[in-house]
Amino acid sequence: MVTAATPRTTYEPVFGWAKVPHPMSFKEATSVAVDSRDKVYVFNRGKNPLMVFDRDGNFLETWGEGEFDRPHGITVDGDDNLWLVDDLGHFAQKRTTSGKVLMTLGERGKPAPWQGGGIFNRPTHTAIHPTTGDVFITDGYGNSRVHKFDSSGKHIKSWGEPGSRHGQFSLPHNICMLGEDRVAVCDRENFRVQIFTTDGEVVDQWHSHRPIAIAAGKGADTNIYLGEAGAPPVQKGVRRLGLRVMVMDRDGNMLTHFGNELGGEGPDQFLAPHGIAIDSEGSVYIAEVSYTAYGSLQDPPREVASLRKWRRVGG
């Protein structure tokens, strides 16, 4: 287990980490999770929506074909179960690491009314409380809410509404625990991370550039890893506008960051960070919706790299 990163910590990209058996394909990796043995779970939009790799990038297995409408977010809980969120399917599912369904929240293909506060309208991500097993789900593209459930899937409460004031959301896109008593929400189109108690009281907000992906370090690594989306079209090509990973402490102070100043296909560049996870060695995995953001716009359209690993190398 590693300790928390500091401002002196450095990272380097691991080029070509995932070895995908031909002709399987991610199309684009939406999100990634790492279990207690450092196995890596990639939730993607190809024909094989869930692919598993060891920490060296060797392929282990795949499952889930035909069982999802549009993969969006994945999280591992303290018992190495997976929580999968399907935004266009409007459901969240708890599964074993081998794919057995343990629980489904929401009903596949049945959205709650748009922005009406029900469960769900295009949910995005989950966070699992490490001791109580309570489940927090961001919802999402069509419903500016966080829903809280107990570990059995019973709905406890929901909070949030559309807007830009404290406690309101403009596209809550990712969520993670901050220790045991707080959750951090990527309030993506409000350019901030909002911090709440586990009962939904606003505690703080951290200004940030289009925060889209968030995860906490493992074990003694108490840091928060934040993936920033890029700028809107009006700022296309301008340097240092998102498309990087910020490493922060639990109070929201930036310690360091990595990623090239410009987006692109190079080993140290990002195109569209969308999901993030950290392993026991402090390495960072970043899933990118790079087909939606970039590959689909090429002539002809093509798949581009959508899963990045950055290894913690010093400090």
Partner 1 sequence: MTTAARALGPVTTATKFEPAPYWAKLPMGVTFRGDATSVAVDSKDNVYVFNRGTHPVAVFDKEGNFIKGWGQGEFDRPHGIEIDAEDNLYLVDDGGHFVQKRTNDGKIVFTLGERGTPAPWQDGGMFNRPTDIAINPATGDLFVSDGYGNSRVHKFDASGKHIKSWGEPGTAPGQFSLPHNVCMLGTDKIVVCDRENFRLQVFTTDGEFVDQWHIHHPMSITHGRNGDTSLYVGEMGPPPVQNGVPNLGNRVTILSSEGEYLTYFGAPLPGQEPNQISAPHGIATDSEGSVYIGEVAWTFWFSRQPTPPLGEIVSLRKWQRVSG
- Residues in contact with partner 1 by CB under 8 A are 115, 141, 144, 161-165, 168, 170-171, 189-192, 205, 207, 209, 228, 231-232, 234-235, 238-242
Q: How far apart are CA 186 and CA 191, in angstroms?
A: 8
Residue 128 and residue 134 in contact, taking contact as beta carbons nearer than 8 Å: yes
Structure tokens at 265: 């296909």
Structure tokens at 170: 């403009």
Rounded to a whole number of angstroms, the minimum distance from the CB of residue 110 to partner 1 is 21
Q: From the CA atom positions of the chain, what is the Rg in Å?
A: 18
| Closest CB to partner 1 among residues 218, 274 | 274
Rounded to a whole number of angstroms, the minimum distance from the CB of residue 93 to partner 1 is 25
Paired sense of beta strands 182-187 and 192-197, if any: antiparallel
Rounded to a whole number of angstroms, the minimum distance from the CB of residue 280 to partner 1 is 30
Q: How far apart are CA 179 and CA 175, in angstroms?
A: 13
| Closest CB to partner 1 among residues 189, 221 | 189
Strands (E) located in 140-235? 145-149, 155-159, 172-178, 182-187, 192-197, 202-207, 211-216, 224-228
| Closest CB to partner 1 among residues 83, 159 | 159
Rounded to a whole number of angstroms, the minimum distance from the CB of residue 170 to partner 1 is 5
Residue 239, burial from CB neighbour count under 10 angstroms (0-12, 13-18, 19+): exposed
DSSP string, 242-270: S-EEEEE-TTS-EEEEES-SS-SSSTT--
Paired sense of beta strands 50-53 and 59-63, if any: antiparallel
| Closest CB to partner 1 among residues 234, 297 | 234
Rounded to a whole number of angstroms, the minimum distance from the CB of residue 172 to partner 1 is 11
Rounded to a whole number of angstroms, the minimum distance from the CB of residue 187 to partner 1 is 10
Q: How far apart are CA 81 and CA 229, in angstroms?
A: 28
| Closest CB to partner 1 among residues 86, 189 | 189
| Closest CB to partner 1 among residues 167, 200 | 167
Rounded to a whole number of angstroms, the minimum distance from the CB of residue 222 to partner 1 is 24
| Closest CB to partner 1 among residues 131, 234 | 234
Question: What are the beta bridge partners of residue 41?
Answer: 33, 52
